[in-house]
Structures are given as C-alpha cells and as structure tokens.
Structure 1
Amino acid sequence: MQGLHLTADLRQCGCDAALLTDAIRLGAHCVQAVDDAGLQAVAQLFHTFPATAQGPGGVTATVLLAESHLCVHTWPETGAVTLDVYVCNFGGDHSAKAHALLNTLLALFQPAHYQQKELLRGLV
C-alpha cells in the first residue's frame, strides 16, 4: 500500500475561466494530462455544480487511475482550485508520473499563488 499523495491549493488562477465552470472541458484536460504523465485512466466522473448568488457553480473532476486517482475541485467565485493526486507504488514507483501530472495541472490553471504538499503513504 505504499504510495505518494500530492495536494495543491491554488489561488487567483489565471487560466481560461471556463476551466473552472465547464466539467466536460476540464475533464478532457484532466484525462489528457493523466495520459501525458504515463498513468492509466480506468474511469471518470465530471460534475458541474449549480450557480449560486455568488456566481457560476464550480466543478469536480475525478479520474480513477489504475494507480489510484486524480481529483480537481474548482471555486470560480474566488478563482481557486484544489488538486489531489494519489498514486500507489506497489507494482512500481509512479512518483515521477504523479509529479508530472501535478506540474501539468499547475501550468494549466496558472495560479498566482499555490501551496503544495507531499505525503508518503503506507510506510510501516
């Protein structure tokens, strides 16, 4: 169960605003980024939340990986995004692929500020 869990909290994203509100568009970028990183998508779910008094609804994009998962959550009213990349390293070390995936998404969203964390999981 050894794995690597990467998270990033993004603020003031300078990307095309549609990426924060269009689940299908964001999902396509996520699937392509997974493929480009050399990871294997096995399922996906993309959901746009309804608009509120604060503005358009955000998006949750989840790509289930053979290696584990990618989750992206957007808050268009504040230009914020959270990223969650988790890979299991049971059959091989996928850490470099996880970092590549996270870096691709950081470049896509173009945050003015972000905080990134890394957690090694399953160590006994």
Structure 2
Amino acid sequence: MQGLHLTADLHGCRCAMEWLTEADPLAEYCVRAVHAAGLQAVARVVHSFPATEQGPGGVTATVLLAESHLCVHTWPEQRAVTLDVYVCNLGGDHSAKAHALLAALLELFDATQVQQHQLLRGTPPQG
C-alpha cells in the first residue's frame, strides 16, 4: 500500500481561461498527461460548477488511475487551482511518473505562485 501523494496549490494562473472553466478540454488534457507520464487512466469524472456573482464557475476533473488518481480543482474567479496526484508503489515505483504528471499540469496552468507538498503514504510505523 506504499505510495507517493503530491499536492500543489496554484495562484495567479496565467493559462487561457478555458483551462479553468471548460470541463471537457481540461479532462482530455489530464488524460493525455497521464499517458505521457507513463501512467494508466482507467476512468474519468468531470464536473462544471455554475457561475456565481464572483465570476465563472470552476471545474473538478478526476482521472482514476490503475496506480491511483489525479484530481484537479479550479477557481477561475481567483485564477487558482489545486492539484492532487497519488500513486501506489506496491507493484513498482511510480514516483517519477507522478512527478512528471504534476510537472505537466504545473506547466499548463503557469501559476505565479506554487506551493507543493509531498507525502509518503502507507509506510508502516517503526517501533
């Protein structure tokens, strides 16, 4: 059950607005990025949120992976995005692929501020 969980909070995204508001193009990009990173997409779910007084609605795009998942949440009114990439490393080390996937998404959104975290999951406690 050991795995690697990568997260990133993006602010000041300079990408085209469609990447923050259009569910289908974002989901298709995510699936292509998953394959380019050498991971296996097994399903995808996307949801568009309605516009509010603050601006256009955002998108949640989730790609289920044979290795675990990718999830993207957008807030176009803030030009912000959160990214979540988790890979299980039980049958092999997919860490480099997870980093490649995250890098592709960071490039797409082109944020002025990025806060990244990395968590090793499923490591048994020592003692």
Check whether TM > 0.5. Answer: yes
Q: Which residue of 2 aligns with 1:22?
A: 22
Q: Which amino acid aligns with 2:116?
A: Q
- Cα distance in 2 for partners of 1:53, 1:36 equals 38
The share of aligned pairs that are identical, in percent, is: 71
- Cα distance in 2 for partners of 1:107, 1:62 equals 18
Matches within 5 A, 1:1-124: 1-124=1-124
Q: Which amino acid aligns with 1:3?
A: G
- Cα distance in 1 for partners of 2:61, 2:78 equals 18
For structure 1, list consecutive stretches of 5 or more residues without a partner in the other structure. none
For structure 2, list consecutive stretches of 5 or more residues without a partner in the other structure. none
- Cα distance in 2 for partners of 1:56, 1:108 equals 19
Over the aligned positions, Cα root-mean-square deviation in angstroms equals: 0.4
- Cα distance in 1 for partners of 2:28, 2:46 equals 9
- Cα distance in 1 for partners of 2:33, 2:116 equals 18
Offset, 1:59: 0.2
Offset, 1:24: 0.3
- Cα distance in 2 for partners of 1:37, 1:114 equals 21
Offset, 1:107: 0.3
Cα deviations by residue, 1:45-87 (Å, 9 ceiling, x for unpaired): 0111011111110000000000000000000000000000000
Q: Rg bigger for which structure?
A: 2
Match of 1:29, SS state, is helix
Moved runs in structure 1, 4+ residues, more than 2 A? none
Q: Which amino acid aligns with 2:59?
A: V
Offset, 1:28: 0.7
Offset, 1:38: 0.3
